[in-house]
A and B are shown apart, each in its own frame.
Chain A
Amino acid sequence: MTSSIGRHRWLVALFVVLAIVGAACGSGDDTTTTAAGTSDTTVAATDTTEATTDTTEATTDTTEAMDSEPIVVGASLPLSGDKSEPGTAAKEGYEVWEAMINEAGGLLGRPVELVIVDNASDQNTASTDYEKLITVDEVDFVVGPFSSFLVIPTSEVAARYGYAFIEPAGGAPDVFNRGLTNLFFAQPAPGSEQADPFADYILSLPADQQPATFAIVSQDDPFTLGVMDRLKGFLTEAGVELVFDEVYAPETTDFSSIAIQVADLDPDLIVGGTVFDDSVAQIRAYQDAGYQPRAAFFTTGPSLPGPFREALGDATEGVFAAISWFPAAPGFQNAEFVAKYVEMFGGDEADIPEDAANAFTVGQVLAQGVENVGAVDNAALIEELHKGTYETIVGPLSFDEVGRPQGTFMVLQWQGGSFVITDPGDRRQADPIWPKPAW
Chain B
Amino acid sequence: MSLPSINVLIQVAVIGLLTGGVYAVMVSGLTLIFGVMKIINIAHAAFMVLSAYLAYWLFSGLGIDPILSMIGIVPLFFFIGKVTQRRVLSPVGDDPGLLVLLTFALAITLEGVLGSISGSTFRTVRTGYTSSIIPVELSSDLTLRLPVVRLTGFVASFVVLGVLWLILNRSGLGRAIRATIQNAEAAQLVGVNIARVRSTTFGIGLASVAIGGALFSLIFSFNGSSHLDWISKMLAIIVLGGLGSLPGALIAALILGVAEAVSAVTMTSYISPIVFYLILFLTLVFRPQGLMGAKVREG
Distance (Å) between the CB of A259 and the closest chain B CB?
A: 9
Q: Are B91 and A257 in contact (CB under 8 A)?
A: no
Q: Which residues of A contact B12 (CB under 8 A)?
A: 256-257, 260-261
A257 in contact with B120 given A19-B106, A36-B108, A311-B221 (CB within 8 Å): no
Q: Which residues of A contact B133 (CB under 8 A)?
A: 288, 290
Q: Which residues of A contact B108 (CB under 8 A)?
A: 19-20, 22-23, 33, 35-36
Determine, out of A3-11, A395-403, A417-425, the stretch whose residues face the partner at the interface: A3-11
Bound-complex Cα distance A9 to B92 (A): 7
Binary B-proximity of A248-286 (CB < 8 A = 1, otherwise 0):
110111101110110010000000000011001100100
Question: Within the complex, which residue of B101, B130, B273 is in contact with A16, where a contact is CB–CB below 8 Å?
Answer: B101
A123 at the interface (CB under 8 A from B): no
Say what secondary structure dominates the interface of chain B: helix
Bound-complex Cα distance A410 to B97 (A): 54
A374 at the interface (CB under 8 A from B): no
Binary B-proximity of A23-48 (CB < 8 A = 1, otherwise 0):
11111110111011000000000000
Q: Are B1 and A1 in contact (CB under 8 A)?
A: no
A23 in contact with B261 given A8-B92, A260-B15, A264-B5 (CB within 8 Å): no
A156 at the interface (CB under 8 A from B): no
Question: Within the complex, which residue of B92, B145, B228, B261 is in contact with A11, where a contact is CB–CB below 8 Å?
Answer: B92
A-B contact number at CB 8 A:
184
Distance (Å) between the CB of B218 and the closest chain A CB?
A: 10
Chain A 277-322 residues near chain B, CB threshold 8 A: 277, 280-281, 284, 287-290, 304, 307, 310-313, 315
Q: Are A246 and B15 in contact (CB under 8 A)?
A: no
Question: Within the complex, which residue of A257, A280, A287, A288 is in contact with B122, where a contact is CB–CB below 8 Å?
Answer: A280
Q: Are B122 and A307 in contact (CB under 8 A)?
A: yes
Q: Are B270 and A28 in contact (CB under 8 A)?
A: no
Q: Are B268 and A246 in contact (CB under 8 A)?
A: yes
Q: Are B269 and A26 in contact (CB under 8 A)?
A: no
Chain B 1-38 residues near chain A, CB threshold 8 A: 1, 4-5, 7-8, 11-12, 15-16, 19
Question: Within the complex, which residue of A4, A257, A276, A315 is in contact with B269, where a contact is CB–CB below 8 Å?
Answer: A257
B225 at the interface (CB under 8 A from A): yes
Bound-complex Cα distance A249 to B92 (A): 39
A21 at the interface (CB under 8 A from B): yes
Q: Are B91 and A25 in contact (CB under 8 A)?
A: no
Q: Are B105 and A16 in contact (CB under 8 A)?
A: yes
Chain B CB within 10 A, most for which of A11, A22, A248, A256: A256
Q: Are A257 and B98 in contact (CB under 8 A)?
A: no
**For this complex, into which size category does the number of interface residues on chain B fall?**
35 or more
Q: Are B122 and A264 in contact (CB under 8 A)?
A: no
A207 at the interface (CB under 8 A from B): no
Question: Within the complex, which residue of B4, B102, B113, B262 is in contact with A12, where a contact is CB–CB below 8 Å?
Answer: B102
Q: Which residues of B contact A11 (CB under 8 A)?
A: 91-92
Q: Are A85 and B119 in contact (CB under 8 A)?
A: yes
Bound-complex Cα distance A256 to B269 (A): 10
B86 at the interface (CB under 8 A from A): no
A288 in contact with B109 given A11-B92, A248-B270 (CB within 8 Å): no
Q: Which residues of B contact A26 (CB under 8 A)?
A: 111-116, 224
Q: Which residues of B contact A251 (CB under 8 A)?
A: 229, 273
A252 in contact with B109 given A12-B92, A260-B12 (CB within 8 Å): no
Q: Are B269 and A289 in contact (CB under 8 A)?
A: no
Distance (Å) between the CB of B252 and the closest chain A CB?
A: 17
A-B contact sample (20 more), CB < 8 A, given A28-B120, A261-B4, A288-B15: A5-B93, A8-B91, A8-B92, A15-B88, A16-B105, A18-B105, A19-B112, A20-B108, A31-B228, A33-B228, A36-B111, A247-B268, A252-B269, A253-B229, A257-B15, A257-B265, A277-B124, A277-B223, A288-B133, A439-B131
Question: Contact residues of B with A, CB < 8 Å?
Answer: 1, 4-5, 7-8, 11-12, 15-16, 19, 60, 88, 91-95, 98, 101-102, 104-109, 111-116, 119-124, 126, 130-131, 133, 145, 147, 220-221, 223-226, 228-229, 260-262, 264-265, 268-270, 272-273
6 A-B pairs closest in CB distance: A27-B115, A26-B115, A22-B112, A277-B122, A26-B112, A257-B264
